[in-house]
């Protein structure tokens, strides 16, 4: 599912580690780094595998389906761009692909609930949310 929002939050600033992730989101795809040594996927993208320390990774396209591990409801906007959205839910999601991600959640939160990706286009960048 894709939705568009008029007032965009601050745009991310991709670095050399995260640029492939943001580029894939722009195409409504989810790619995660996977270690070339231990093969574990991880998020966020970092210079070396957080599990074994190997600096070599490959990017793999994954379905962003999974289950809610935890969530919080935000009642206070920490940036004026989010003021109209309060309250909103941020969830930690255990992806079926083997990594844990954090993102906004559309819908009623419940630990263990199944989620699917939702791509939100913001002019020059795309946000991954879960529903």
In a domain, 5, yes or no: no
In a domain, 9, yes or no: no
What is the average pLDDT across 46-55?
Answer: 96
In a domain, 26, yes or no: yes
In a domain, 4, yes or no: no
What is the average pLDDT across 44-51?
Answer: 96
In a domain, 88, yes or no: yes
How high does pLDDT run on average in the chain? Answer: 93
In a domain, 87, yes or no: yes
Structurally, the chain folds into a number of domains equal to: 1
Task: Give pTM, 2 decimals.
Answer: 0.88
Summarize pLDDT for 67-102 with one digit per residue, the tens: 999 999 999 988 888 899 999 999 999 999 999 999
Query: Does residue 44 carry a pLDDT above 70?
Result: yes
In a domain, 1, yes or no: no
| Domain span holding position 84 | 14-130
The pLDDT value recorded for residue 78 is 85
Please give the structure tokens belonging to residue 82: 């989010």
Query: Does residue 57 carry a pLDDT above 90?
Result: yes
Summarize pLDDT for 96-126 with one digit per residue, the tens: 999 999 999 999 999 999 999 999 999 999 9
In a domain, 118, yes or no: yes
Percentage of the chain exceeding pLDDT 70? 94
How sure is the predictor about 7, in pLDDT bands with cuts at 50, 70 and 90?
low
The pLDDT value recorded for residue 8 is 62
């Amino acid at each position: 599912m894709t939705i568009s929002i008029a007032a965009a939050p601050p745009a991310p600033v991709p670095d050399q580690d995260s640029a492939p992730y943001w580029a894939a989101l722009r195409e409504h795809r989810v790619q995660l780094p996977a270690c070339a040594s231990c093969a574990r996927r991880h998020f966020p993208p970092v210079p070396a595998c957080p599990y074994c320390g190997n600096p070599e990774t490959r990017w793999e396209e994954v379905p962003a389906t999974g289950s809610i591990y935890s969530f919080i409801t935000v009642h206070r906007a920490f940036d004026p761009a989010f003021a109209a959205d309060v309250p909103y839910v941020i969830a930690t999601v255990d992806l079926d692909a083997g990594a844990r991600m954090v993102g906004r959640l559309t819908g009623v939160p419940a630990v263990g609930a199944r989620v699917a990706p939702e791509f939100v286009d913001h002019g020059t960048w795309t946000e991954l949310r879960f529903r």
